[in-house]
């Protein structure tokens, strides 16, 4: 039986390769580099090598446009990040932007989530204030808390994560939430019998093998998204979702 994570990785690699416009020679060279010369074939890559390949391709790919999938409004971006986290934790069943829009509409009556901010000069959008945005964000946070995960990371934990980052750059609250969600997913995987050791050290070893960084706090935003997706997909498979 073909592993579902393998099939997902293959689809992701091919999609990102098309987005990058990478030719055959460039693609095989990249596969060879992530496998340290062991192979130039995607089929022969190990799980961690596929993760590194996806990360490399994602860094080269241009930003996605259209479809309303990327928001410019800071409130909408925060709500979307929390919504996707809730999906990978298994609390919502659809991570699409349309599912988020429908959820926001039920909470506020507002048709477009990017309107959840004061618009003083827009003729086409009513003046919805930040209270509406907070209502959506708080509702998603409550959904997350039902899984035992609190997205509001305490300041002391943020400080601890920051201290373990080699680059010394400030850690944004949303980034800290993703890093803590990764740890929560790892512990859920242990509870489901999918990983043997629940410790942060074991998770750091997985992160190092998959992303070539020394620990979970060293993951950048895009790597954290990929790690959360990978572990979330693994958890859904382990829990039969």
Mark whether 96 and 52 lie in a shared domain: no
**The domain containing residue 207 runs over which residues?**
155-238
Q: What is the pLDDT of residue 241?
A: 56
Q: Is 150 inside any structural domain?
A: no
Low-confidence residues in the chain, pLDDT < 70? 1-4, 62-70, 72, 115-131, 241
Which pLDDT score is estimated for 64? 53
CA distance 53 to 235: 21
Please tell me the distance from the alpha carbon of residue 206 to that of residue 213, in angstroms, as a whole number: 10
Torsion of CA 69, 71, 77, 79, to 10 degrees: -60
Last residue of a domain, one of 145, 180, 198: 145
- Determine the pLDDT at residue 56: 83
Q: Does residue 68 lie in a domain region?
A: no
Same domain, 13 and 44: yes
Residue tagged 């601890």 (tokens): 160
Residue 67 in domain = no
Pair 169, 233 in one domain: yes
Q: Which residue from 137, 153, 143 is spatially nearest to 74, judged by alpha carbons?
A: 137
Read off φ and ψ for residue 210, nearest 5 degrees: -85, -30
Residues 96, 137, single domain; the answer is yes
Looking at the structure, do residues 52 and 95 belong to the same domain, yes or no? no
Q: Is residue 99 assigned to a domain?
A: yes
**Same domain, yes or no, for 20 and 48?**
yes
How far is Cα 198 from Cα 2, in angstroms, rounded to an integer? Answer: 26
pLDDT of residue 118: 41
**Looking at the structure, do residues 139 and 160 belong to the same domain, yes or no?**
no
Choosing from 115, 145, 175, the residue where a domain stops is: 145
In degrees and rounded to multiples of 5, residue 72 shows phi and psi of -95, -25
In a shared domain, residues 133 and 170? no
Among 112, 145, 178, identify where a domain stops: 145
Q: Are residues 137 and 163 in the same domain?
A: no
SS (H, E, C) the chain: CCCHHHHHHHHHHHHHHHHHCCCHHHHHHHHHHHCCCCCCCHHHCCHHHHHHHHHHHHHHCCCCCCCCCCCCCHHHHHHHHHHHHHHHCCCCCCCCHHHHHHHHHHHHCCCCHHHCCCCCCCCCCCCCCHHHHHHHHHHHHHHHHCCCCCCCCCHHHHHHHHHCCCCCCCCCHHHHHHHHHHHHHHHHHHHCCCCCCCCHHHHHHHHHHHHCCCCHHHCCHHHHHHHHHHHHHHHHHHCCC
pLDDT at 23: 80
Same domain, 56 and 120: no
Q: Are residues 38 and 20 in the same domain?
A: yes
pLDDT for the residue numbered 170: 81
Structural domains in the chain (count): 3
């Amino acid at each position: 039986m073909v592993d579902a994570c393998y099939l997902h990785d293959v689809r992701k690699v091919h999609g990102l390769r098309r987005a990058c416009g990478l030719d055959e020679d460039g693609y095989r060279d990249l596969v060879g580099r992530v496998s340290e010369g062991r192979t130039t074939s995607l089929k022969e890559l190990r799980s961690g090598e596929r993760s590194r390949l996806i990360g490399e391709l994602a860094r080269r790919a241009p930003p996605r446009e259209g479809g309303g999938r990327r928001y410019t409004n800071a409130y909408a971006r925060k709500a979307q990040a929390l919504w996707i986290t809730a999906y990978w934790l298994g609390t919502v069943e659809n991570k699409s932007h349309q599912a988020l829009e429908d959820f926001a509409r039920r909470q506020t009556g507002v048709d477009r989530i990017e309107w959840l901010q004061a618009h003083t000069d827009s003729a086409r959008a009513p003046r919805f204030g930040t209270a509406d945005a907070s209502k959506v964000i708080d509702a998603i946070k409550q959904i997350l808390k039902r899984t035992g995960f609190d997205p509001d990371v305490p300041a002391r934990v943020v400080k601890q994560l920051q201290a373990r980052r080699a680059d010394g750059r400030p850690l944004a609250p949303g980034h800290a939430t993703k890093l803590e969600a990764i740890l929560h997913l790892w512990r859920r995987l242990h509870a489901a019998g999918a990983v043997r050791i629940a410790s942060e050290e074991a998770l750091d070893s997985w992160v190092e093998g998959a992303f070539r960084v020394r620990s979970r706090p060293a993951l950048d935003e895009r790597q954290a998204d990929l790690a959360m997706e990978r572990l979330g997909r693994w958890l859904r498979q382990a829990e039969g979702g």
